[in-house]
Amino acid sequence: MKERLLIVGTNWIGDSVMSLAAVRELRRLFPESHLAILARPWVAGIFESQGILDEVLVPAENSGFAGDLLNTAGRLKGFHRAFLFPNSFRAALTAFLARVPARFGYRTDGRGLLLTHKARPRILRLKRHQIYYYLDLLYQTGISSRDYLKDSGFQPDIGLKATEEGLRSARRVLEDAGLPPGRPLVVLNPGAHYGPAKRWPSERYARLADRLISEANVSVVIIGSRSEEPVARSISKFMTGCPLVLTGKTNLITLIGLLSLSRLLVTNDSGPMHLAAALDTPQISLFGSTDETATGPFSRRAEVIHKHVECSPCLLRECPIDLRCFTRIEVDEVYESARAALNDV
C-alpha cells in the first residue's frame, strides 16, 4: 500500500506560492507516495493542475469551529504523515484529531505536545527568504538531509503555470471588455490585505496609470479582492483615462491566467506579487512597511522599489506618522522603471 502524505497548506495566496518549493521537495523525496494538500478554497487553485500533487482537499466549512474541525479531521483519517506549514494550533489539532501518526511542524502557538516531529524557526536569525521557512521544516525534522538554508547551490522552484481554463477565462474577460488584442497589457495591483502601510497612495497609482495609457500606449487593468473595491474606485476617481477595473471580479484561476498574459505587473507587497513571480511575469514591486528580504518577489524578473527610511521595515498595518517610505516613491521613478521593463520584453 502506498504511503499517504498530507500537507496542511497555508491560508494566504502569497504564503501558498512561497510554499511551492517545499511541496516540490516532498514530491521529489517521496516520488511513489500519495501526496495530498489540505488547502483553503481561495488558494486551492494554486496547487491544481500543476503535476505535483495527487489530491487537493478543501476543509469543511459552515458547521461552526468545532463542527468544521471534526468534519475535516474525519476526512483526513488514513494519512501516515502530516506536514504542517501553518504555525497555527488549529492545523496541529486537525492532524492530531485525524490520528495521523507522524505530525511535522514548528513548535509555535503552544502546539508542541500535538507534534511528533518538531522544529524551531531559523530564517529570521539567518535573514533568509520566507520560501526557506517551509523547506527548513523538512531539514530540521529529518525528512531531508539537505540544509536548504545554508546550501548555496540549491535553487528553490516556485514555478507556476496558468491552466488552459484560466487562460481562456482571462482572454474572454479582456475580449468582453473590448481591449485592443495587440496592445500590451499592464496590470496594477494597488491593494494589500494586511493594511494601508503596505499600499502606495491611490492618487499615485492613478497618475501612473494615466501615463501608461497616454504615453506608453498600453491597456491598464486594475485587480484586487472584493474588499479592495474602494481602493480601485479611488484610483478611477483620480484618473482621466479609463482603465479596466476587475477588482473583485476574478476568481483565482482567472487571475493566474490574466497575470500570465500580462506584459507587466505593478504591485504592492501582496498575493498577486507572488503569483507573478511564480509565473515569471515581469513586475515592479513597491514596498513600504514590510521587508523585501523576507517576503519580496522570488524572481529575477522583478524590480523592487523600497525607500529604506529610518523606521522601515516597521511591519505595521497602519503608519503612525507620515508614510514616508511610500511618499518618497515618486510616480516618475515607477513610470520610468515600467517603460524600461516594457521595452525589455
The model's pLDDT over 119-174, given as tens digits with 9 standing for 90+, comes to 999 987 778 999 999 999 999 999 999 999 999 899 999 999 999 999 999 999 99
Outline where the chain has alpha helix (H): 13-18, 20-29, 64-75, 89-97, 123-126, 131-140, 164-176, 202-214, 229-238, 252-261, 271-279, 292-295, 324-327, 331-344
Q: Same domain for 90 and 170?
A: no
Q: Same domain for 203 and 247?
A: yes
CATH number of 21's domain: 3.40.50.2000
Nearest to 327, CA basis, from 242, 233, 188, 200: 200
Residue 63 falls inside a structural domain:
yes
Domain count, the chain: 2
Provide the residue range defining the domain that includes 104: 4-140
Residue 159 falls inside a structural domain:
no
- How many CB atoms sit inside 10 A of residue 307's CB? 16
Looking up cell 511542524 gives: 105
- Where the chain has pLDDT below 70, the residues are 345
Helix (H) or strand (E) holding 118, with range, is strand 117-119
Q: Same domain for 121 and 32?
A: yes
Nearest to 329, CA basis, from 184, 171, 158, 207: 207
Residue 274 falls inside a structural domain:
yes
Q: Same domain for 111 and 248?
A: no
- The β-bridge relationship of strands 264-268 and 283-287 is parallel
pLDDT tens digits, 299-319: 999 999 999 888 888 878 888
Residue 154 falls inside a structural domain:
no
User: Which distant-in-sequence residues (6+ apart) come within 8 Å of 334 by Cβ?
Assistant: 204, 208, 266, 284, 286, 305
Q: Same domain for 324 and 208?
A: yes
Q: Same domain for 62 and 195?
A: no
Q: Same domain for 58 and 124?
A: yes
Grid cell locating 237: 476617481
Identify the pLDDT of residue 107. 96
Q: Same domain for 168 and 62?
A: no
Residue 271 falls inside a structural domain:
yes
CA–CA distance, 104 with 142 (Å, rounded to integer): 10
Task: Determine contact, residues 82/25, Cβ cutoff 8 Å.
Answer: no
Residue 149 falls inside a structural domain:
no
CA 154 to chain CA centroid, Å, is 21
- Global pTM value: 0.95
Residue 54 falls inside a structural domain:
yes
Residue 151 falls inside a structural domain:
no
Q: Same domain for 23 and 88?
A: yes
User: Which distant-in-sequence residues (6+ apart) come within 8 Å of 24 by Cβ?
Assistant: 52, 157
Q: How far is CA 183 from CA 196, 214, 216, in A?
A: 32, 13, 10
Looking up cell 531539514 gives: 139
Identify the pLDDT of residue 62. 78
Q: Same domain for 105 and 194?
A: no
Looking up cell 517603460 gives: 339
Identify the pLDDT of residue 193. 78
Q: Same domain for 55 and 12?
A: yes
Task: Determine contact, residues 6/37, Cβ cutoff 8 Å.
Answer: yes
State the first-to-last Cα distance of the chain, in angstroms, to the nearest integer.
49
Identify the pLDDT of residue 123. 85
Identify the pLDDT of residue 159. 97
Of 91, 107, 140, the residue at which a domain comes to its end is 140
